[in-house]
Amino acid sequence: MPPFRRPGAVLLAVALITGATTPVAAAPTPAPAAEPYPMYPPVGAGTALFDHGAKLAGFVEPDWYEANIPFVDLPDAEIEDTYYYRWRTYKEALKYTGPEDGWIVSEFLGPVGYSAPGGGIVAAAGHHVYEGRWLRDSRYLDDYLDYWLRGSGAGPKPATDFLNEHTTDWAHQYSFWAADAVVARARVDGRWDFAVDRLPELERQWAAWAPQFDRDLGLYWQVPVWDAMEYTASAYQSDDPYHGGDGFRPTINAYQFGDAVAIAELLRSRGRSGDQQAAARYEEAARALQSNVDKHLWSADEQFYRHVMRDDRTAVPDREQIGFVPWYFRMAPPSAAPAWAQLTDPMGFAARFGPTTVERRSPWFMHDALVGCCRWSGPSWPYATSQALTAMANLLTDYPPQPYVDRQDYYDVLRGYALTQRKDGRPYVAEAHHPDEDRWLYDGRGHSEDYNHSTFNDLVLSGLLGVRPRTGEQVRISPLVPADWDHFAVENAPYHGRNLTVVWDRDGDTYHRGAGLRVWVDGQLVHHQADLRPADVRVGPARRVAAVPLVDDLANVAGTGHPAASASHTWHADSPADAVDGQDFHLDVPSTRWTSYGSPDRQDWLAVDLGAPTPVSDVRISFYDDGGGVRTPDAYDLQYRTPAGEWAEVPGQVRTPRTPERGRVHRVLVSPPVPTDGLRVRPSRADGGAVGITGLQSWRAEDPRVTARLRADDDGALRVRPGLVTEVVAEVRASGPLTVRPALPVPRGRRAEPLGPSGDLAVAPDRPVEPRWRLHVPADVALGQRAPLRLVVPTLPPDGRDTADLVHAEAVFDPADFTTPVWDDRFDGPLGAYRVGARFGEPVPDPRTEGGALVVEALRQSAAVLAAPVTAPPGDLAVVLEPRSFAGAAPEDSVLLGRANGPDDLVPAWYNHHFRTSAADVRVGGRDRGDAAGGCCANVTWTPGDRFAVVFDGGVMTGWVEHGGRWRGLREVPFGTAVDPARVEGWSPAIGVRVTGGRLELERMTVLGRR
């Protein structure tokens, strides 16, 4: 029986106004509306020492910043400007991926091919958590941490060279200090229950690095590229400069040390039976790592931690900036402090735009750095600078005094880091900067802008201004500001659910609240002193906030299937899908927007097809305004698609703001909620000019007491067959006695009949209910088509919350539906009738039949396409291939299947067994059209007995794999965009091979037709 999926709710942590409830979002029958929940977390009682609005001049959605960030006022304008800019870049990086995983923090603003599902990259996740822990809205990091610990980010990935062949899950693709970051976050927000609840996942994360632990040395090894650092000075001294030689590095060992200490702290705080002994084991592991790092990685001669090659145990002679990382986790002993003399040494790491990533003495300093991305051989990388500055702040505040660096040095390096983050005189951060020249070295257009790969604001708050989070009811104030600073302020910083304000005013003339250092908690003065000596200040017990589970039903990160965005006109560089891609930022490059620029019409529209009726109660629209050709509209209509399929104005709208305003998110509350399968926005300008939208969302509140799931496969799909009936099963659970009314709205053209139980159902923790429906699927549904099914479960009496779950009904391939035999070859006879052609300009191997298999052997990379001696009948066509064994070669160990008319005209899908990927090629008239009509890639792993298939239906080819008797769709290929489908119908069914070496065997080829 197919398993149930994870519950699809995302928590929006907001402090609820006393007595307020949430708006109704029921379907299919509208219910009375409740009071709206806050759009942003209320700030609460605090101080008002300076003008926040002036700090946010020119920012889009200033209300978000006012509700979320600590405000600072500094005498250094460059550091302050960079501080607010970096909150803008962090907000841009917040990406809502859908109900399964919720929010993640992205590294690049645009997609990259090596990211985890939804776009996450674990390389800088530790930085993301340290920076984001200062936000008031806890939903972002709640979801993000669960993404890596419990969600798609913890899921399986191919173990390939491109994606790290040493690991099989995304959370270990790169090094990651997970548990340390979780505890660091808990020290700020005070929500230790959240951290403790993740202990099982944190322990699994820590233990999963065991394959890279060397028991002889008692150290972990890592490949530099999977340490997020390619082309390092140590890598150049290996036989693989890109990846780098596998080595025992200060980074991964410090990360594992920090995580072991953090896990031990969480275990001791939980206090269950056996936790103290378990904590002691982690503490012992941490001590052993500490001892072994000092024994094997510390150089007494160089007075520095270094990379040691795994295979020959030789230490790289060059000092690299990673040698400062042990202080990030307070791992280094006080006796190692001389290492810090290198930070300010002109022949060490000191640089105007530094620190450098390898010391200047090294012969590898700036080696190949100017010939292309991405060298860690000297350029200034914000990722590494963040680590070094965090480590330095720990040295200066948590270690005994030492003579090598002081707080002025901290300020100087931080200020240099701020000035590095500039381009054309404005704040800007990309990938890596020249250490001595005012220019970014690695700054790809549409790729590197506002690169979220480091921290800065955490360095200002916890380092420069000295807000040092603590366990318990205290905060330590230990500023590292220059001695000549007369004032600074950090105002209403979210800390333990309260507002913390720290002010230094030497003579009292700046803020007029008295001279000296003062600390306020929730607007009440709790501490003052005359100087800047470190002080421990009591803040009281952590205050909790209520959490409203929220789901955006319009989000579609993948850009395929439903919800599907369309528009009456779109500027060629924009896309309707970008308005519902889960991100809302207002950059020109990269962009995430729809605009009507260049439209001949006076009014255009952006529409979203949800696929199935969905309750709409809280719509949010972010209009794009570039100050030029695309401007904020003067008015807009919000429409829904009626059951009759017509567009009508959404009834019961309450708009904030009432009329469009530049830089604001426009919220439309709908009372009562409207169930619909389509929404449309029609913005207009009085002058008929162009308009744009960067974000269109429809948020729905869910009941946290209810868990609603539809039974589906692990990939979230429900397999259905065209023309047949499928039973749909749900499960509804509750944390307490409740009454619910489950419903299954279905797409147009489909019908669902309740099988029971139905109506108002009583549910309790020990009494879940399993409503069932009979789903009728039309016979003309195309194979591979996925239609959304949304289970909607209102809580009764209506309280404004509808819990839901979403699966996709996928029309799957079944050979039994193809009843016309066309060709069946078990390869028990000669191959003479096949047409054998070359492919990829490579030598053609000599295929033969042997032992009931098609056998191909090769000593070098070879490729061939074999067209069957048969003409396919009109109609749909399926080609099924049964491999017996693969060659085990690299990089090519591939089979192809599809249709061909020779080597210059073919449409096949392919599977590469080495990389565990599947995609398609389209070649017409000798020209490859893969990017336009084929492309790459679906992840799949073949095991003996699995079959592959492709189905040609009109101008679309779909790829399939069968495992355990069940077919799963791989990819849809619209080859009709490259060649007339009628022309392809005359091509022969074909299979192919491409191998670098070894022996590949295919057992059977079957071709079936269907009219």
Does residue 813 have a pLDDT over 70? yes
| pLDDT at site 281 | 97
Q: How large a percentage of the chain has pLDDT more than 70? A: 96
Distance, CA of 601 to chain centre: 37
CA–CA dist 231, 820 (Å, integer): 57
| pLDDT at site 161 | 87
pLDDT category of residue 27 using cuts at 50, 70 and 90:
very low
Distance, CA of 262 to chain centre: 24
Q: Mean of the pLDDT values across residues 482-509?
A: 97
* Average pLDDT over all residues of the chain: 93
CA–CA dist 449, 429 (Å, integer): 7
| pLDDT at site 567 | 98
Does residue 17 have a pLDDT over 80? no
Does residue 775 have a pLDDT over 90? yes
Does residue 3 have a pLDDT over 60? no
Which two tokens mark 1010?
Answer: 């269907």
DSSP 983: H
- Model pTM score: 0.89
| pLDDT at site 338 | 98
| pLDDT at site 23 | 30
Q: pLDDT tens digits for 436-476? A: 999 999 999 999 999 999 999 999 999 999 999 999 999 99
Does residue 28 have a pLDDT over 60? no
CA–CA dist 262, 811 (Å, integer): 47
CA–CA dist 851, 855 (Å, integer): 9
| pLDDT at site 185 | 98
Q: What pairing do the DSSP bridges indicate for beta strands 653-656 and 606-623? A: unpaired
CB 794 within 8 A of CB 741: yes
Find, among 62, 76, 92, the residue nearest to 428 by Cα: 92
Could you tell me which residues come within 8 angstroms of residue 982 by beta carbon, excluding any fewer than 6 positions away?
none
Q: How large a percentage of the chain has pLDDT more than 90? A: 84
pLDDT category of residue 6 using cuts at 50, 70 and 90:
very low
Residue 399, sorted as left (phi over 0), alpha (psi -120 to 50) or beta, turns out to be beta
Q: What is the DSSP string of 406-437?
A: -HHHHHHHHHHHHHHSEETTEE---SEE-SSS
Check residues 717 and 995 and name the one with the higher pLDDT: 995
Q: pLDDT tens digits for 970-986? A: 888 889 888 899 999 99
Check residues 74 and 919 and name the one with the higher pLDDT: 74
Token pair 């790729």 is at which residue? 447
Which has the minimum average pLDDT: 503-517, 546-560, 878-892? 546-560
Q: Mean of the pLDDT values across residues 483-508?
A: 98
Beta strand spans in 213-279 (E)? 213-214, 219-222, 247-248
| HEC per residue, 552-566 | ECCCCCCCCCCCEEE
Q: pLDDT tens digits for 210-268? A: 999 999 999 999 999 999 999 999 999 999 999 998 999 999 999 999 999 999 999 99
346-353 long-range CB contacts below 8 Å, 24 or more apart?
348/319, 349/319, 349/321, 349/388, 351/380, 351/416, 351/435, 351/436, 352/416, 352/435, 352/436, 353/380, 353/416, 353/419, 353/420, 353/433, 353/434, 353/435, 353/436, 353/437, 353/438
Signed CA dihedral, 207, 210, 214, 216: sign only: positive
CA–CA dist 752, 758 (Å, integer): 12
CA–CA dist 528, 535 (Å, integer): 10
CA–CA dist 587, 601 (Å, integer): 25
CB 274 within 8 A of CB 199: no
Does residue 841 have a pLDDT over 90? no
CB 708 within 8 A of CB 771: no
Q: pLDDT tens digits for 665-703? A: 999 999 999 999 999 999 999 999 999 999 999 999 999
Q: Degrees (nearest 5) of the Cα angle 527, 529, 532? A: 115
Element (H, E) at 710: strand 706-710
pLDDT category of residue 7 using cuts at 50, 70 and 90:
very low
Which has the minimum average pLDDT: 303-312, 593-602, 714-723, 868-877? 714-723
Does residue 184 have a pLDDT over 70? yes
CA–CA dist 294, 280 (Å, integer): 21
Q: pLDDT tens digits for 89-136? A: 999 999 999 999 999 999 999 888 899 999 999 999 999 999 999 999
Q: pLDDT tens digits for 616-654? A: 999 999 999 999 999 999 999 999 999 999 999 999 999
Beta strand spans in 246-337 (E)? 247-248, 298-299, 304-305, 308-309
